[in-house]
Amino acid sequence: MSIKVEEPPAEPPLGKQSLEFKNKFFKEASIQDWNNWKWQIHNSITDYKRLEEIFGIKESGHNLPLRITPYYASVVYNSKKLGKTVFPSMNELVHSKGESLDPLHEEHDSPVKCLVHRYPDRVLFLVTNFCSTNCRYCTRSRIINNKEEEKNQLNEWNLAIDYIEQHKEIRDVIISGGDPLTLPDSLLSYLLTSLSEIKHLDMIRIGTKVPIVLPMRINSDLIDILKTVKPLYMSIHCTHSDELTEEVKTACNLLADNGIVMGSQTVLLKEINDEPETMKSLFHGLLKIRIRPYYIYQCDPLLGSAHFKTSVETGINIIENLRGHTSGYAIPHYVIDAPGGGGKIPLLPKYYQGQDEEGNILLRNYEYKNYQYFNN
């Protein structure tokens, strides 16, 4: 009988796509550098010179801020669709009807800085203004800054934590920003521990794009912090199946193996993911890495976002093409976050067609066949 020798831990995987990209545009970086999330943030593409070198995109007088991690740049480099989500464009200077800087009126529902308390039993906690990769359609671009270092936020956090402690009706806290997973381990640990100690909280959620744009952040030190917080949910921002690389799969499997429940949030974007088949392959890909599709958002009417906007019928048609045609688990809710602070409102194809004189509920199914249900 042979004795099995324990193998040294495998190198974190580096997909072929990112390796080739690294060797082309970040030659001086080692694989260890590339796999280090802090290296990724420090070496992110933030200037137009670099954007032009890699993507051939020129600044054309607007000088809008930008930020893309080298890892995500490697994904965008190999995708026809994703560039538009992160490359600044002149279209952002076009202001259209109904658009504003804070379309969801988050600042109106803010009892203390950092918190948006819109729904009775849950609260949104904006813990940082920094994101590793800036999305051009970001609903919070009004607060996103491009600085890696922030002034000590502990005082503001503590005021928010006090508010949550005093409001016993809150049972769910959504930590967002900016991207909370760009915080250093020590701060994240402080935040999650403080919230975990609040008895009336049933659950904590983290809203993040890190597993998609900076998957190397999901390392064992982070997992050690996250797994002490239970139950922990993660809402992961994703856009297209091109994002589901080997690195992302590894990161998400690690999260799932450690008990973190994952859902996805996807913004419906014109010519990027507005085809039913594109969405379906994204949602099938997410289920394979144990992320449950949670929301499709109609694009928020953010200032300068008209070029991303699809019609509402486009979104309803996507749901129409999913329901009945694939696993119910692959079907998220399609919602409009109502401008002015009305919250998320779901939209569905017309499956419910009203009632007849005898009180029957009139229904139509995914094949456009009609059915009745006797309603007592």
Ligand X SMILES: *Cc1c(COP(=O)(O)O)cnc(C)c1O
Q: How far apart are CA 272 and CA 223, in angstroms?
A: 32
At 342 the three-state DSSP class reads coil
Which of 66/175 has CB closer to ligand X? 175
What's the Cα-to-Cα distance from 372 to each of 63, 189, 223, 294, 328, rounded to whole Å?
59, 54, 50, 29, 22
Q: Which of 179, 242, 274, 337 is catalytic?
A: 337
Active site annotation includes 217? no
Does 337 qualify as catalytic in the annotation?
yes
The least distance separating ligand X from the CB of residue 235, rounded to whole angstroms, comes to 7
- Whether 122 sits among the annotated catalytic residues: the reply is yes
The verdict on whether 249 is a catalytic residue reads: no
Give me the sign of the Cα torsion angle 47, 236, 21, 56: negative
Q: Which position among 71, 72, 131, 334 bears the catalytic label?
A: 131
In sequence order, the 6+-apart residues with CB closer than 8 A to the CB of 311 are none
**147 part of the active site:** no
Cis amide bond preceding 304, omega within 30: no
Nearest residue (CB) to ligand X, 175 versus 218: 175
Q: Which helix (H) or strand (E) holds 148?
A: none
Q: Give the closest residue to 70 by CA, choosing from 28, 39, 40.
A: 40
Out of 22, 136, 140, 205, pick the active-site residue: 140
Based on the residue annotation, tell me whether 252 is a catalytic residue of this protein: no
Q: Which region holds residue 259: left if phi is over 0, alpha if psi is between -120 and 50, else beta?
A: left
Active site (annotated) includes residue 114: no
Query: 87 vs 119, which CB is nearer to ligand X?
Result: 119
Closest separation in Å from C-beta 122 to ligand X: 5
Name which of 74 and 139 has its Cβ closer to ligand X. 139
The answer to whether 140 is a known catalytic residue is: yes
Q: Kindly compute the dihedral angle of the four CA atoms of residues 349, 354, 360, 364, in this order, to the nearest 10 degrees.
A: -20
Measured CA to CA in angstroms, residue 284 lies from 104, 173, 280 at distances of: 30, 28, 6
Residue 173 and residue 176: Cα distance in Å, rounded? 9
Q: Of the candidates 282, 267, 265, 353, which has an alpha carbon nearest to the alpha carbon of residue 314?
A: 267
Q: How far is the CB of 124 from ligand X (least distance, A)?
A: 4
Does the active-site annotation cover 344?
yes
CB of residue 244 to ligand X, shortest distance in Å: 22
> Catalytic one among 84, 136, 137, 138?
138
Please pick, among 48, 77, 119, 294, the residue that the annotation labels catalytic: 119
Rank residues 173 and 214 by Cβ distance to ligand X and give the closer one. Answer: 173
Q: Toward ligand X, which CB reaches closer, 25 or 119? A: 119
- Exactly one of 114, 242, 300, 334 is catalytic; name it: 300
**Smallest separation (angstroms) from ligand X to the CB of 118:** 4
DSSP-H helix ranges across 26-86: 31-34, 37-42, 48-55, 70-77, 83-86
Q: Which residues contact ligand X by CB under 6 A?
A: 116, 118-119, 122, 124, 174, 344
Residue 207 CB, nearest approach to ligand X (Å) = 8
Q: Which residues are catalytic?
A: 118-119, 122, 131, 135, 138, 140, 300, 337, 344
